[in-house]
Structures are given as C-alpha cells and as structure tokens.
C-alpha cells in the first residue's frame, strides 16, 4: 500500500498488511550485548498497534467515531473507519482474532494494544474488557 502521513502521530508510516510488514524484518538479528540479551534467540517479535474493539463491528465503529471526535486538534479529521481498521486491531472480536492470527502465522509472539486513538490512553475501559474477555481467550 502507499505511504501516507500517520494522522495519529507526526511520523511517516507505511500502511501494510501483516505479511508485508513482517517480511521486511530480518529473521537473523545482530546480537546486542546488553545484560542477558547477547543472542538473537533472546529477541521476540512484538508488534504494537492501536485498536478499537467492540462487541460488534458497529460497536467498534461507534467507539472509533468517539475517539476521532475527542482527538486533539484536527489530526484525525480525514481518518475513516476503513482507513483506521486497515492498520489497527479494530473491529468485532472475530475480526480482531483474525488479524491476531495473521500476525501469529508470521511469527509474532506478542501484540501490544493501545485501546484508543491516543497512545497509552484508556478512555473507554470497556475496550480492554472486550479484548480480555472475547479476543484473548480465542488466541490462547
């Protein structure tokens, strides 16, 4: 997919599917000689993504619209549900599990979810509840 300016932070990102993203990460890493981290075997593949999870896709879309409306300034004014969902862990539990499985198939061992449009913000704790109760059990 084409490069675009990330409306969630002031950096240029590339919107890609999980396979494209992970195929660009080298499988053999140069050892880093930190305490306890001297072998590529100690590294884990971790991906951090924003996400808006709801009990249904309509519920997740409504949460996204609230997040977009609350975002400072006009940075998310051009973001749509479709563009948001394309590169985040967003949607119904079934849709999110499908995306998690795609990353898992590529060797990702850990996913970090930022459950709102702002980093490290938990404005609607229900998003975390839905993820913990509906997504995580399906991914174990």
pLDDT at 25: 47
pLDDT at 43: 72
pLDDT at 84: 92
d(CA 140, CA 136): 6
* Nearest Cα residue to 77 out of 85, 69, 89: 69
pLDDT at 19: 56
pLDDT at 76: 86
| 3 state SS of 100 | helix
pLDDT at 11: 36
d(CA 22, CA 25): 5
Q: What backbone phi and psi angles, to 5 degrees, belong to 82?
A: -65, -45
Q: Which stretches of the chain score pLDDT less than 50?
A: 1-16, 22, 24-34
SS3 track for 47-82: EEEECCECCCHHHHHHHHHHHHHHCCCCCCCCCCHH
pLDDT at 36: 57
Q: Which two tokens stand for residue 100?
A: 């998690």
d(CA 36, CA 69): 44
């Amino acid at each position: 997919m084409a490069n675009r300016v990330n409306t969630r932070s002031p950096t240029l990102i590339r919107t890609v599917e999980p396979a494209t993203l992970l195929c660009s990460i080298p499988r053999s890493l140069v050892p880093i000689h930190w305490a306890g981290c001297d072998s590529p075997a100690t590294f884990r593949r971790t991906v951090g993504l924003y996400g808006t999870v709801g009990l249904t896709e309509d519920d997740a879309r409504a949460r996204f619209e609230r997040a977009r409306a609350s975002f400072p300034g006009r940075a998310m004014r051009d973001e749509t549900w479709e563009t948001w969902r394309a590169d985040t862990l967003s949607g119904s539990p079934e849709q999110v599990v499908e995306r998690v499985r795609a990353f898992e198939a590529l060797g990702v061992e850990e996913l970090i979810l930022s459950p709102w449009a702002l980093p490290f913000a938990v404005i609607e704790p229900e998003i975390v509840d839905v993820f913990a109760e509906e997504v995580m059990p399906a991914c174990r």
